[in-house]
Amino acid sequence: MVFNTLVAGCLAALLGAVVLHPRVQEGLVIRCGLVCMALGFAAMAVVLADGVNAQDLVPMVRAVALVHVGLVVAAAGFLWRFRRGGWAERPITDWGVLQEAHADTRTGDA
Name the DSSP letter for residue 30: H
Evaluate whether 44 touches 6 at the Cβ level (below 8 Å): no
More confident residue, 105 or 25: 25
Q: b/e for 81-102, b at 16 or more Cβ within 10 A?
A: beeeeeeeeeeeeeeeeeeeee
Q: How confident is the model at residue 105 (pLDDT cuts 50, 70, 90)?
A: low
Whole-Å CA distances, 104 to 45, 76, 81, 93, 110: 56, 42, 34, 18, 5
Calculate what percentage of the chain has a pLDDT beyond 70: 77
Note the pLDDT of residue 91.
58
At CA 6, angle to CA 32 and CA 55, rounded to 5?
80
Please tell me whether residue 65 adopts helix, strand or coil conformation. helix
Model confidence at 102: pLDDT above 70: no
CB atoms within 10 A of CB 41: 25
Q: What pLDDT score does 83 carry?
A: 86
Mean pLDDT of the residues in the chain: 83
pLDDT tens digits, 14-67 = 999 999 988 888 888 999 999 999 999 999 999 999 888 888 889 999 999 999
Q: What is the number of other CB atoms lying within 10 angstroms of the CB of residue 47?
A: 23
pTM of the predicted structure, to 2 decimals: 0.73
